[in-house]
Structure 1
């Protein structure tokens, strides 16, 4: 049923909870796992110059070691948890709008399940901003399992 599972991660507790679910599903179905870290360039356009944003879009972090370290830590968590179950992980770090990059990566890599966390925010803040999980649900036709932060 599930051959390729995508786990978008930002390294947060919410994302790490989703990783555990994704690894469990992958272990049960013998699925491949892909870990994706998306550097949200829409929040950086003002603070970074166009050249730096272009580097991020190209996956080059040569002049941004802190950003690369944050991405690497998040990806390494996925790799470590999957490794405990003997599951290899395909890793990717890209730049762009997270929901669009998640959907694009899933389409480009034959993903048939996306497992991601949601902070479970509600009210006005969610209505104004929307969540990455909610936007991903609206952007792709691939099944998305959204894991709530409160789950154990």
Structure 2
């Protein structure tokens, strides 16, 4: 049985572990002649800081865009990388969870394959992708590579 992959989604959060996951995602995309989509997921601490006015949203957006541009530039030739940013948590939507945000993004970009880090990433309460990995593994309808 062979699988067809057109788009590989990789959620990232600016850490080395998420860069490693992106490297795997790019390798899968290269192998299947697919595109990649890097989704920067903002954690709970950041979301609450923005909502409380403690974090400058435009400054954060600029830093995040630099990270995503550097990540896209590291992709192999022939792998097109799209990027986006999403809040992994909400101060107003009770059921918004990083895992559901990732799965919603996978549907939005028609991802056929997901690559996600599975370990704690920052060592604080904002470990957004650590909280999402198990959820994504349980509920994704696409194949998932957990690295």
Whether TM-score is above 0.5 comes out as yes
**Equivalent pair of 1:11/1:73 in contact (CA under 8 Å):** no
**Equivalent pair of 2:50/2:57 in contact (CA under 8 Å):** no
Q: Which residue of 1 aligns with 2:146?
A: 146
Give the whole-Å Cα distance in 1 for the aligned partners of 2:18 and 2:50: 26
Structure 2 residue 18 is the aligned partner of structure 1 residue 15: yes
Q: Which residue of 2 aligns with 1:85?
A: 77
Which stretches in structure 2 are left out of the alignment for 5+ residues? 90-97, 122-129
Structure 1 residue 101 displacement after superposition: 1.1
**Equivalent pair of 1:16/1:77 in contact (CA under 8 Å):** no
The alignment covers a number of residue pairs equal to: 128
Q: Which residue of 1 aligns with 2:33?
A: 30
Which stretches in structure 1 are left out of the alignment for 5+ residues? 53-60, 122-129, 148-152
Structure 2 residue 100 is the aligned partner of structure 1 residue 100: yes
Give the whole-Å Cα distance in 1 for the aligned partners of 2:68 and 2:12: 7
Report the TM-score, using the length of structure 2 for normalisation: 0.73
Give the whole-Å Cα distance in 2 for the aligned partners of 1:7 and 1:77: 15
Q: Which residue of 1 aligns with 2:6?
A: 3
* Shift in alpha-carbon separation, 1:39–1:86, aligned structure 2, 3 A: same
